[in-house]
A and B are shown apart, each in its own frame.
Chain A
Amino acid sequence: DVVMTQTPVSLSVSLGGQVSISCRSSQSLVHNNGNTYLSWYLQKPGQSPQLLIYKVSNRFSGISDRFSGSGSGTDFTLKISRVEPDDLGVYYCGQGTQYHTFGAGTKLELK
């Protein structure tokens, strides 16, 4: 299994602030085809998870440019700038290079 280690477990942020979430994989996520299948999801309270970022840094359709992904190999980061109330919830990193596994989640709350 590819184990995804996500930190921190929770984050408190003021509206308008910026936060970063880290995700580390137990092995490289570079696929044989050269792609890196690292994605980020947000589960808002009472809703299903939604896709934010795919292949490390590509924003999914309709996702604000306040969300940005970066990283390579085994270390990845999601940054959220100018945090809004609608950004609150649990963020997950996920990998699709070898089957699919997820991080344990990071809960983003208001300070």
Chain B
Amino acid sequence: EVQLQESGPGLVKPSQSLSLTCSVTGYSITSNYWGWIRKFPGNKMEWMGYISYSGSTSYNPSLKSRISITRDTSKNQFFLQLNSVTTEDTATYYCARFGTTRVMDAWGQGASVTVSS
């Protein structure tokens, strides 16, 4: 059974970079697509981007200038970096596996990140 686990700082200062790690067990990240979704206070959900089994990436156009998703296949981990954060980036960040039917079919438990000075 695939399991995903997010980790990273829960507090980031404005203008700095947000960095999160997703550790995957039970499934290789060299198959499928793997990405990040965030849920803002008040329920709004936003797809941020994903990295494919081959290492290619696709990002939400609204974040394209600030986001980077990378991976370490030797550790079966993938990473999120979001630059120049503001308080508007305060959210719970989820990593997820993307299935062949363009859905998120496995999710991590979520990492709450607050952007505040």
Q: Besides A102-B45, A102-B47, 14 other CB < 8 A contacts?
A: A37-B102, A39-B101, A39-B103, A41-B104, A54-B101, A58-B101, A60-B103, A90-B43, A96-B102, A96-B103, A97-B102, A99-B61, A101-B47, A105-B43
Against B, the Cβ 8 Å flags (1 = close, 0 = not) of A46-79 are 0111110011001010000000000000000000
Q: Is the CB of A48 within 8 A of B43?
A: no
Complex A-B: 23 CB contacts under 8 Å = A37-B102, A39-B101, A39-B102, A41-B104, A47-B109, A48-B94, A48-B108, A48-B109, A48-B110, A50-B107, A54-B99, A54-B102, A54-B105, A60-B103, A94-B103, A94-B104, A96-B103, A99-B58, A99-B60, A100-B47, A102-B46, A102-B47, A105-B45
Closest to A60 in B: B105
Q: Is the CB of B45 within 8 A of A51?
A: no
Q: Which B residues are closer than 8 A to A by beta carbons?
A: 37, 43-47, 58, 60-62, 94, 99, 101-105, 107-110
Q: Is the CB of B43 within 8 A of A104?
A: yes
A50 to B44, CA, bound (A): 16
Q: Which chain A positions have C-beta within 8 A of B101?
A: 35, 37, 39, 54-55, 58, 96
Q: How many A-B residue pairs have CB under 8 A?
A: 62
A102 to B32, CA, bound (A): 21
Q: Which of B60, B99, B102, B107 contacts A49, CB < 8 Å? A: B107
Q: Could you tell me the distance in whole angstroms from the C-beta of A101 to the nearest C-beta in chain B?
A: 7
Residues of A1-15 whose CB lies within 8 A of B: 1
Q: Which chain A positions have C-beta within 8 A of B44?
A: 102, 104-105
Q: Could you tell me the distance in whole angstroms from the C-beta of A82 to the nearest C-beta in chain B?
A: 25
A109 to B116, CA, bound (A): 33
Q: Is the CB of B47 within 8 A of A49?
A: no
Q: Is the CB of A49 within 8 A of B94?
A: yes
A101 to B45, CA, bound (A): 8
Q: Could you tell me the distance in whole angstroms from the C-beta of A27 to the nearest C-beta in chain B?
A: 16
Q: Which chain A positions have C-beta within 8 A of B109?
A: 47-48
Q: Which chain B positions have C-beta within 8 A of A100?
A: 37, 47, 60, 102
Q: Is the CB of B108 within 8 A of A99?
A: no
